[in-house]
Homo-oligomer: A and B are copies of this chain.
Amino acid sequence: MDISLDDFHNWWIYFLTRPNRSEMISMTESCREIPIKDIAPEGISPETVMSWSRDYYGPKELRERIIESQSYEDLTTDNVIVTTGTNEANMLAALAALDAGDEVILEMPQWMQGYAVCKHILRAQIKMLYLKEENLWKPNVEELKDLVTPKTKLIWLCHPNNPTGSVLDQNEMRAICEIAEDCGAWILQDEIYRNLEWNNVVSPSAVNYYDKSITAAGLSKTLGVEGMRIGWLACRDKAFVEKCNAFRIYSTLTTNLLGEKLATIALQPKKFKELVEAGKRIGRTNIKLVDQWIREHNGCISWIPPGGSYNTFPKYHYNMKSLEFCKRALDYKIIFTPGGAFPGGEGHIRLGVAIDTESLEQGLRRFDAFLTSLKQI
């Protein structure tokens, strides 16, 4: 099969391999990085035997913790598979839901995996549902109605959204599910940033609203444990989950034991809330800081404050492509992700606030110097 990397990943490979990267401040971080001791103060016992769980869906206790901590309604452990991150959950769901030539609707901008999987691996017919700044980066339900046809097999969402931070409310989720139900389409929602809502109302999980909804989620972003590689897939349709599991058996077979153990501890509902809140405290401080900074740079830069996630998607008021903007920013030792790496995102940058406040302040000072160097429109 042919495949090519999208502009998002090409950009990441580009900046990760800059010779002076260690001197740079990443202003595009989408998650924190916490130590094992924040989850398990005593660490992992060296006596731990490195076997697998002998359950293809992942350890049952972990699946129980997922259902409880995420407030998934009417699900049993047969509705959940533990996966190697949210990314794998997205992939399995797409393989199980789609065939070559099927029509799929992708919200854009969003995490670029859906586009690549649908285009290169599944060879599906892609239609874009563009999120627009004037609509607070939320999907326009009327536009979605116009896009779907009886051939639409899947609607792929991502909220809290990467890169814009937009969050759906219950009514919006219901309206989207009704449209999907009318045409018989699956909904796949990438919920990797769920629980990171800045109004403290946990956003709707697709799996709670519609029988043909698939939730793909994980701990990487909410807790700051990307190296743990623990995510999950949940769906009310057990036959669909079983099908996803078959695809997993032929790809990664099972998740990693130490990640499973740490996740089982981290997802104790009280512990989970505490860990999420620890991150959100930093996020709130940082968002306030950036908001103040943007107000002070009125005319150069503007934004829709994020509803959730550590991602924000400011618009810069300079007449240049986002890739050029971000390459120039590297000269000032600050890293953003070009908005143009996401369809519908040109003219923006993805600014992530998941770094410590001191580094963010230093980064904003560098950003100041960078903007000063640019000729304002």
The residue on B at minimum CB distance from A122 is B1
User: With the chains together, A229 CA to B83 CA distance in Å?
Assistant: 12
Does A247 sit within 8 A of B, measured CB to CB?
Answer: yes
User: With the chains together, A78 CA to B182 CA distance in Å?
Assistant: 49
User: With the chains together, A54 CA to B28 CA distance in Å?
Assistant: 14
Does A303 sit within 8 A of B, measured CB to CB?
Answer: no
- A226-B52, A227-B52, A227-B257 as given contacts; A252 in contact with B87, CB under 8 Å: yes
- A16-B54, A226-B52 as given contacts; A113 in contact with B1, CB under 8 Å: no
Does A253 sit within 8 A of B, measured CB to CB?
Answer: yes
- A98-B1, A228-B50, A259-B256 as given contacts; A91 in contact with B36, CB under 8 Å: no
User: With the chains together, A87 CA to B255 CA distance in Å?
Assistant: 12
Does A141 sit within 8 A of B, measured CB to CB?
Answer: no
User: With the chains together, A120 CA to B100 CA distance in Å?
Assistant: 13
A56 to chain B, nearest CB (A): 7
A43 to chain B, nearest CB (A): 3
A1 with B95: CB separation less than 8 A: yes
A259 to chain B, nearest CB (A): 5
A171 to chain B, nearest CB (A): 33
Does A117 sit within 8 A of B, measured CB to CB?
Answer: yes
- List residues of chain B with CB within 8 A of the CB of A88: 251-252
Does A49 sit within 8 A of B, measured CB to CB?
Answer: yes
The residue on B at minimum CB distance from A53 is B227
A95 to chain B, nearest CB (A): 5
B246 with A229: CB separation less than 8 A: no
Does A37 sit within 8 A of B, measured CB to CB?
Answer: yes
Partner-contacting stretch, out of A3-11, A284-292, A309-317, A359-367: A3-11
Complex interface residues of chain A between 34 and 85 (CB less than 8 A to chain B): 34-37, 40-56, 84-85
Number of interface residues of A (CB under 8 A): 66
Does A305 sit within 8 A of B, measured CB to CB?
Answer: no
A335 to chain B, nearest CB (A): 12
Does A116 sit within 8 A of B, measured CB to CB?
Answer: yes
Complex interface residues of chain A between 116 and 132 (CB less than 8 A to chain B): 116-117, 120-122
- List residues of chain B with CB within 8 A of the CB of A344: none
B37 with A47: CB separation less than 8 A: yes
A228 to chain B, nearest CB (A): 5
B228 with A256: CB separation less than 8 A: yes
Does A225 sit within 8 A of B, measured CB to CB?
Answer: yes
21 sample A-B contacts, Cβ–Cβ < 8 Å, listed by A number? A1-B95, A1-B99, A3-B246, A9-B246, A9-B249, A16-B55, A35-B49, A40-B46, A43-B43, A43-B44, A50-B225, A50-B262, A51-B227, A85-B253, A85-B254, A87-B253, A113-B250, A121-B247, A227-B257, A227-B260, A256-B256
